[in-house]
Chain A
C-alpha cells in the first residue's frame, strides 16, 4: 500500500463488496436492505476517489435517502409484519453461485489483462462542469430524463391507487349494488 490513500481505497472497496455479498446472502430481507445501504455508501466513497464529488453526493442523496427508503417501505408494506421471520431462502444457489463466480473470474481477467490506455488522472471539482454540460451538450437527455420522471411519477401514482371493489378493502360502498 502506498500511503493512506490506498488503504482508504481498499477499505471502501472492501466495504462495498462485503456489503454486496451480504445483500446477496442474507436471508432476512431487512438485513439485506441495511447491507445495501452500506453498499451504496461504499460506492459513494469510491466515487470520491474518482474525482466525482458531485456524483458521490448525488449517490448518497438519491440512493440512500430515496431509493433505499422506498425499498424499505416496500418491504414493510409487502410483508405481513406479524410474520416476523421474513426469511428468503433462495433456490438453486449453487448453479447461480457457480455462474457468478465464473463470470466474476472472466470479467476480472479481462479487466486485469487488457492494456487500457491509461492517462494520468486529474482531480478537480466537477459540479460546475457537470452543470454546464447538462445545460449545453446533454440538454436533450436532461429534458428526456425529466419527461421520463414525469411518466414514472404518473405511472407509480396510478399503480398505487387503491382499487375499487376489491374484497380486501373494508370501505366498500354498500349503496351501489
Chain B
C-alpha cells in the first residue's frame, strides 16, 4: 500500500463518478455520481495527510466534506422531490428551462 496506489484508486473512483454524472438520466443517479466524486476527493485528502505529513489537516477536511456532502444531499433530494412534484419526473433532460 503506497501513496500512488491509493491515488490510482481515488482516480478510478473519480472517473466512475464523472461517468455517472455524464451518462445517467435520472437526477438521483447523478447525485450518486457526485457522491462518488466526493469520496474520491476524500480518499486523496486522507492519503496525502497520511503519507506526506503528520498534520491532521487532511482528515479534518475530509470530515467537513462528509458533513457538507450530507447537507448537499439533503438539499438536492429536496429539490428533486420538488421537481418531481412539479413536473412529474426527475429526469435531467427535463430540466432544460435554461436552454438558449
Partner of B71, one of A77, A99, A134, A149: A149
Partner of B43, one of A43, A63, A159: A43
Q: With contacts A36-B36, A50-B47 known, is A17 near B16, CB below 8 A? A: yes
Contact residues of A between 81 and 139, Cβ < 8 Å to B: 88-93, 96-97, 99-101, 103-104, 107-108, 111-112, 116-119, 121-122, 126, 129-130, 133-134, 138
Contact residues of A between 35 and 63, Cβ < 8 Å to B: 36, 39-40, 43, 46-47, 49-52, 54-55, 58-59, 62-63
Tell me the bound Cα distance from A39 to B66 in angstroms.
15
Q: Is the CB of B66 within 8 A of A23?
A: no
Q: Is the CB of A58 within 8 A of B36?
A: no
Q: Is the CB of A16 within 8 A of B9?
A: yes
Residues of B within 8 A of A47 (CB): 43, 46
Partner of A62, one of B5, B27, B66: B66
Q: Is the CB of A107 within 8 A of B11?
A: yes
Q: Is the CB of A52 within 8 A of B78?
A: no
Partner of A160, one of B14, B50, B81: B81
Q: B1 CB to closest chain A CB, in angstroms?
A: 5
Q: How many residues of A contact B (CB 8 A)?
A: 83
Q: Is the CB of A101 within 8 A of B15?
A: yes
A: residues with CB less than 8 A from B are 5-6, 9, 13, 16-17, 20-21, 23-24, 29, 32-33, 36, 39-40, 43, 46-47, 49-52, 54-55, 58-59, 62-63, 66-67, 70-71, 73-75, 77-79, 88-93, 96-97, 99-101, 103-104, 107-108, 111-112, 116-119, 121-122, 126, 129-130, 133-134, 138, 141, 145, 148-149, 151-153, 155-157, 159-160, 163, 166, 168
- Can you give 24 contacting A-B residue pairs, CB < 8 Å? A9-B1, A13-B5, A29-B26, A39-B36, A43-B39, A50-B6, A52-B46, A52-B49, A55-B63, A55-B66, A63-B35, A67-B69, A70-B74, A71-B32, A74-B28, A74-B90, A93-B23, A100-B22, A101-B15, A104-B12, A111-B11, A141-B64, A148-B71, A156-B75
